[in-house]
Amino acid sequence: MQPTDIRNPDYFHKVVDCQWACPAHTPVPEYIRLIAAGRYSDAYLVNWKSNVFPGILGRTCDRPCEPACRRGRVEEAQQAKPEPVAICRLKRVTADYKDDDDVKKRIAAGKKTKSNGKKIVCIGAGPASLTVARDLAPLGYEVTVFDQDPRAGGMIWSQIPRFRLPLEVIDEEVNYILDLGVSFKQRKITSMKEVMKEGYDAIFVGSGAPRGRDLDIPGRKEGAKNIHIGIDWLSSVSFGHTTKIGKRVIVLGGGNTAMDCCRTSKRIGGEDVKVIVRSGFDEMKASPWEKEDAQHEGIPIMNFLVPKSFITQGGKLTGMTFEKVKAVYDDKGKRSLVSTGEPDQAFECDDVLVAVGQENSFPWIEKDCGIEFDKWGLPVLDKATFQASVPNVFFGGDSAFGPKNIIWAVAHGHDAAVSIDKLLNSEDLKLRPAPGVTLVSQKMGIHEWSYDNEIAGDARYKVPWADIKATLKNVKMEVELGFDVATAWKEAQRCLNCDVQTVFTDKLCIECDACVDICPMDCISFVPNAEEEVLRKNLNAPATNLTQDLYVSGPLKTMRVMAKDEDVCLHCGLCAERCPTGAWDMQKFLAEMTYAGDGCRNHQNQKKKAA
Amino acid sequence: MTFLAKPKLHHPTLPKNKLGFTRRDYEGKVSTLCAGCGHDSISAALIQAFWELDIQPHRVAKMSGIGCSSKTPDYFLGQSHGFNTVHGRMPSVLTGANLANRDLIYLGVSGDGDSASIGLGQFAHVMRRGVNMTYILENNGVYGLTKGQFSATADKGSKAKKGSINADSAIDTVSLALLMGATFVARSFSGDKHQLVPLVKAAIAHQGAAFIDVISPCVAFNNHAGSTKSYEYIREHNEAVNRLDFWPTREAITVDYSAGGVIEVPTHDGSILKLRKLHEDYDPSDKINASAMIASAAVKGEVLTGLLYVAPDAEDLHAHLNTYETAFNTLGEKELCPGSAMLEKINAGLR
Ligand SMILES: Cc1cc2nc3c(=O)[nH]c(=O)nc-3n(C[C@H](O)[C@H](O)[C@H](O)COP(=O)(O)OP(=O)(O)OC[C@H]3O[C@@H](n4cnc5c(N)ncnc54)[C@H](O)[C@@H]3O)c2cc1C
Ligand SMILES: Cc1ncc(C[n+]2csc(CCOP(=O)(O)OP(=O)(O)O)c2C)c(N)n1
Ligand code: SF4
Ligand code: SF4
Ligand code: SF4
Ligand SMILES: [Mg+2]
């Protein structure tokens, strides 16, 4: 193998599994260390900069970082249940224990009083638009956000039930943004052409994927009064229009919306609530923890049942029938659901909530306004810049590539903001600077590091819950209580500080084997060089996780190379402590993502002017 | 300054031996030696060898003297017996322990100062008595623990860290062990576990006095230019005479050997030593020739490593003395104190 080029900013970034997996690349270990140090406000602001909604995301994020977290792999075969660090719930800790006034002041300090004369409009006030606004307003842009709803927040506010996310948390974090001088107005946009005529320098569409899929099976019309589209019903509950549901409720669908529907039903009159899903339990789209939460509240999840008809009597819904199916896989591994041949199954019910998917819909964008759509009805966009076929129109969040989640909407928002800033500075949108990275040695003395390199053996801590009897009675009462300070500290200790990198200097190595001998995880080998495939097998412990890189040095004095499997490194620094020559060093890697503003610009236009 | 204990976590695929232990279960306390000390690598090789041989740690007695090398038994086999003797006196304590209980596996760990300077007499006698043990000499050419004075194994003409030249002749412990009658004699290098681990395993299996001189650089006091015991010097002058593969049983042999250049050395306990010859004319069963080869290599400035001598028909001290087989600690008072009548009988026999 060629020696690893550690100057490539992606190399060490990938080693920080959580940060790499986070769509907004939140520097997770950085904020976890700040929590451990009791610096909650600083930890909050590290988050706020990257993901804009720490308190909201700390309760609701889809947390792609957690399945990626190294801790889960490291605990394999040695902890009864190997689990990642509770990254998401530690994020909530930063919001819960920060000094509110201090944070408010520090955020407000970014407010620009002088306009740069450029006007931006965001359509829809969900997380994507709010991120664009947050990134651009401090640069002097005049940002206006329109939403058909009276409050900003988008689906964060209209869909996510209050027992998962209290209103105050939304208000606080939405206001941090609006207080930067962003103007929010309730207005339902009915014509894109009209907006285009209003003189904005750039238009950002963050209107989400607002249409819930329906289920067109026999009995749908007859039972219509008691058949509800999940997302419409949830927003109606959020807005206080709906306050009751029948005693027996069937929720159709296996995604997160279905989980919110069933748990909400249970709180406003549903007694016998069940979720019925076409697919198997493991293939359901809902996150594992949401399924667990629903089951914990006594809601059964029934699988492999395909809805066949609504049963009505005298124009009133009385139940549903389902066909029993099983999963069959063809030789390519593709799954299909086929009938088991057993008789259909019928369930009685008073109400049905249909949560079988969401779609995009842009009835207000005229076909002839210049914005192209593909055959699935999604806008044709540049995947990196989010630019539409009309150069000053950008899409982001669920409206760009279909329904995803909040953290993706935020990530899109950052990127779109960069594009807008570059466009309005006459720059090439495609020339986007790589993140700035720094590597700083953590050595303070012999056996002394500026990070805590002791590895905690604790299993993951559970977030305590409010009394289930109380929460099931009140749709607004938050279920999770969040970590207390002591537990948060203990959970923070589980983080392995994957950003503190093992950096190897081959010229200094005397091949004494000290690092090999001390490494608890058998990460390091000195071996004859070979192709990656061969090398992976020849290491002290086989490197079978192909998603994790091998760090390979140049040839050493014996003509062997140092090869380190990054997979299960504890970042404990023992290799560096045991190295007599300092060939190993522990260096903190920090990736400074590229945001709108001076850092994102290449200044080609200025060069042009100078030339 | 703190020394962190090595985290208990280990690689998810870390294998277990027949006893259900991982290699990590054979570790000891965290080492307090200097970072990069060769002795730590030898500890790692010992851990590997005992793990691979499926030896129950409580069947092992680790004996050592004084020195950085003699401290190392604290850093491996944490579940084994141990005795840290006075300087240079490990051999006599090991001999006594072995006489009292032959059921344990005896591992002697010593340094060049401990064995070749203050303990030279003890070293010679433990070899000639044929005590059943594995004697590891961690040879760095200096007294590491007392800050790097030349030891008796330092080569004549080699340079100390501060510049002084060693004027005395070196004691070659391998030649001395051969001369004294050790029945398994090898030399290796702390930086080459592929060579060292099989040698340790074979030495443990050997039923007699097995001696391995392991060159083990002292990074603090003897790893500079001009030293003949530095990592760099040993890598350049290392001449391996053979490569040993150790197989506990014949069935276990999984490597295909090409016909030429492999010798099989029979042993008492049925284990197999396979030697791949690296030097055509080196025969490790010919003691006289082995001595001559070691001496002539030394003249050329080469450090001969590998299995240098093994006597297939080795015997140990217990066989020489025809001792009682049962360990003292399992004998009752009656056997240990047979009474005045028996004493009379013995005394009468001596008159
Ligand atoms: C029930 C449910 C639960 C969810 N739970 C989670 C969760 O726990 N975690 C998570 O990460 N994600 C969750 N999501 C997904 C998440 O809410 C969305 O992915 C995210 O909000 C998308 O953000 P966005 O900025 O693209 O748009 P949205 O949040 O969808 O906001 C779009 C806004 O645009 C407005 N709008 C649309 N058209 C117009 C128009 N013509 N004029 C004016 N305004 C308009 C809408 O009123 C809306 O406020 C959930 C979704 C649902 C349905
Ligand atoms: C009776 C006695 N004399 C002298 C000493 C001082 N002393 C301690 S260790 C040592 C030399 C150890 O050298 P070596 O066996 O080579 O061990 P190393 O530290 O090099 O591994 C000496 C002379 C002592 N502890 N006891
Ligand atoms: S252990 Fe910490 S730094 Fe490493 S992936 Fe998990 S949360 Fe991130
Ligand atoms: S930091 Fe070094 S010693 Fe610790 S696990 Fe990683 S490679 Fe091994
Ligand atoms: S002084 Fe030398 S022998 Fe002793 S621990 Fe340090 S490097 Fe090893
Ligand atoms: Mg010594």
Nearest to B91 by CA among B38, B129, B138, B44: B129
Atom of ligand 3 nearest to the CA of A70: 5
Instruction: Indicate whether B150 belongs to any domain.
Output: yes
CATH number of the domain bearing residue B268: 3.40.50.970
CB under 8 Å, gap of 24 or more: what pairs does A300-304 form?
A: A300/A274, A300/A275, A301/A254, A301/A274, A301/A275, A301/A277, A302/A274, A302/A275, A302/A276, A302/A277, A303/A277, A303/A279, A304/A277, A304/A278, A304/A279, A304/A280, A304/A337, A304/A340
B242 in contact with A, Cβ within 8 Å: no
Cα distance between residue A288 and residue A547, in whole Å: 23
- For B344, residues 6+ apart whose C-beta sits below 8 A from its C-beta are none
CA pair distance B112, B127, nearest whole angstrom: 15
Beta bridge partners of A147: A186
B41 CB-contact burial (10 Å; exposed 0-12 / middle 13-18 / buried 19+): buried
Amino acid at A283: E
**pLDDT tens figures, A369-399:** 999 999 999 999 999 999 999 999 999 999 9
Return contacts of A366-373, CB within 8 angstroms, 24+ apart. Answer: A366/A191, A366/A192, A366/A193, A369/A192, A369/A193, A369/A196, A371/A192
Residue nearest to atom 2 of ligand 3 (CA): A495
- A110-210+360-423 shares its CATH topology with A212-358: yes
DSSP at A552: E
The answer to whether the CB atoms of A570 and B3 lie below 8 A apart is no
Per DSSP bridges, beta strands B149-150 and B142-143 are antiparallel
Whether B237 contacts chain A with CB within 8 A? no
pLDDT at B258: 58
Q: Do B9 and A513 touch (CB under 8 A)?
A: no
Q: Under an 8 A CB cutoff, do A75 and B9 touch?
A: yes
Q: CA–CA separation, A586 vs A125, rounded Å?
A: 43
User: What is the predicted pLDDT for the residue at A610?
Assistant: 46
Residue B47: CA count within 13 A, CB half-sphere? 25
Give the integer Cα–Cα distance in Å for A529 and A514: 20
Q: What is the mean pLDDT of chain A?
A: 95
Enumerate residues 6+ apart whose C-beta is below 8 A from B177: B123, B127, B185, B209, B211, B213
pLDDT at B1: 39
User: Cα B63 to the chain's mean position, in Å?
Assistant: 11
Q: Under an 8 Å CB criterion, which residues of A touch B?
A: 73-78, 445-448, 453-455, 457, 510-514, 516-518, 520-523, 541-542, 544, 557-558, 568, 570, 572, 574, 577-581
pTM: 0.92
Q: Which ligand sits nearest to residue B66's alpha carbon? A: 2
Number of neighbours of residue B226 by Cβ within 10 angstroms = 14
Residue A451 φ then ψ, to 5°: -130, 160
Whole-angstrom CA distances from A222 to A226, A228, A253, B185 are 9, 13, 21, 95
Ligand 2 atom nearest residue B71's Cα = 21
Q: Which residues of A touch B29 (CB under 8 A)?
A: none
d(CA B175, CA B194): 23
Per-residue pLDDT of chain B (351 residues), as tens digits, is 357 889 999 999 999 999 999 999 999 999 999 999 999 999 999 999 999 999 999 999 999 999 999 999 999 999 999 999 999 999 999 999 999 999 999 999 999 999 999 999 999 999 999 999 999 999 999 999 999 999 999 999 999 999 999 999 999 999 999 999 999 999 999 999 999 999 999 999 999 999 999 999 999 999 999 999 999 999 999 999 888 888 777 666 666 655 557 777 777 777 788 887 778 778 888 999 999 999 999 889 899 999 999 997 899 999 999 999 999 999 999 989 999 999 999 999 999
Q: How far apart are CA A293 and CA A279, in angstroms?
A: 19
Model pLDDT, residue B274 = 81
Buried/exposed code over B138-148 (b: 16+ C-beta within 10 A; e: otherwise) = bbbbbbbbeeb
Give Cβ neighbours of residue A332 (< 8 Å, ≥ 6 apart).
none
**Distance from Cα A43 to the centre of ligand 4, integer Å:** 26
Nearest to A401 by CA among A365, A360, A370: A360
pLDDT of amino acid A559: 94
Cβ of A132 less than 6 Å from ligand 4 = no
| B2, part of any domain | no
Q: What is the pLDDT of residues A400-422, one digit of tens each?
A: 999 999 999 999 999 999 999 99
- Most A CBs within 10 Å, among B1, B10, B140, B227, to test the A interface: B10
Ligand 5 within 6 A of CB of B71: no
Q: What is the 3-state secondary structure (H, E, C) of B103-142?
A: CCEEEEEEEHHHHHHCCHHHHHHHHHHCCCEEEEEEECCE
Superfamily of A212-358 according to CATH:
FAD/NAD(P)-binding domain (3.50.50.60)
User: Could you tell me if the CB of B112 is within 6 A of ligand 2?
Assistant: yes
Residue A441 is inside which H or E element, if any?
Answer: strand A436-441
SS3 of B219-287: CCCCCCCCCCCCHHHHHHHEEECEEEEEECCHHHCCCCCCCCCEEEECCCCCCEEEEEECCCCCCCCCH
- The residue ranking higher by pLDDT, A500 or A444, is A500
| CATH code, residues A110-210+360-423 | 3.50.50.60
Residue ranges in A424-564 assigned as alpha helix (H): 468-471, 485-493, 514-518, 532-538
Ligand lying nearest the CA atom of residue B109: 2
pLDDT digits (tens, 9 = 90+) for A310-360: 999 998 999 999 999 999 999 998 989 999 999 999 999 999 999 999 999
State residue A78's pLDDT score.
86
The token duo for B17 is 């031996």
Q: Which helix (H) or strand (E) holds A108?
A: helix A100-108
Split into its structural domains, chain B has a count of 1
CA distance B22 to B11: 10
CA atoms within 13 A on the CB side of B315: 8
Q: Is the dihedral of CA B145, B150, B153, B154 positive or negative?
A: positive
DSSP state of A203: E
Q: Which amino acid is at A178?
A: L
Dist CA A149 CA A166 (whole Å): 18
Chain A touched by B224 (CB under 8 Å): no
Q: Which domain holds residue B224?
A: 23-329
Residue nearest to atom 8 of ligand 4 (CA): A519
* Helix B120-129 with B173-180: angle, nearest 10 deg: 40
Spatial CB neighbours of B308, under 8 Å, sequence gap ≥ 6: B174, B178, B185, B186, B187, B241, B284, B290, B294
Per the domain annotation, does B15 fall within a domain?
no
Q: Which two tokens stand for residue A485?
A: 């300070």
Percent of chain A with pLDDT over 70: 99
Q: What is the pLDDT of residues A14-32, one digit of tens each?
A: 999 999 999 999 999 999 9
Domain membership of residue B138 (yes or no) is yes
Record: contact B41-A557, CB cut-off 8 A: no
Q: What is the pLDDT of residues A526-548, one digit of tens each?
A: 999 999 999 999 999 999 999 99
The CA-atom distances, in angstroms, between A73 and each of A66, A70, A85, B156 are 11, 5, 11, 53
Residue of A nearest to B24 (CA): A520
Residues A89 and A289 sit within 8 Å (Cβ to Cβ): no
How are beta strands B303-310 and B184-189 bridged, if at all? antiparallel
Question: What's the whole-number mean pLDDT along residues A457-482?
Answer: 96
State CA B284 to chain mean position distance: 17
| Residue to substitute in A515, A572, A578, A587 for testing ligand 4 pocket (most ligand atoms within 8 angstroms of CB) | A572
pLDDT given at position B256: 60
- By most ligand atoms within 8 Å of CB, the mutation choice from A575, A584, A586, A589 for ligand 4 is A575
- Which residue ranges make up each domain of chain A? 110-210+360-423, 212-358
Q: Whose CA is nearest to atom 13 of ligand 1?
A: A405
Task: Enter the DSSP assignment of B152.
Answer: T
**Cβ under 8 Å to A: B residues 157-216:** 190-191, 193
Question: What is the mean predicted confidence (pLDDT) over A503-520?
Answer: 96
Write the residue with the smallest CA distance to atom 4 of ligand 3.
Answer: A498
Give yes or no for residue B142 CB within 6 A of ligand 5: no
Q: Which residue has the higher pLDDT, B298 or A179?
A: A179
pLDDT digit string, tens, across residues A114-148? 999 999 999 999 999 999 999 999 999 999 999 99
Contacts of residue A514, defined as CB under 8 A and 6 or more positions apart, other chains included, come to: A575, A578, A579, A580, B35, B36, B37, B40, B41
For ligand 2, say whether the CB of B69 is within 6 Å of any of its atoms.
yes
A-chain CB neighbours of B2 within 8 Å are: 447-448
Inter-chain residue contact B9 with A455, CB threshold 8 Å: yes
Residue that is written with structure tokens 């076409």 in the block = A278
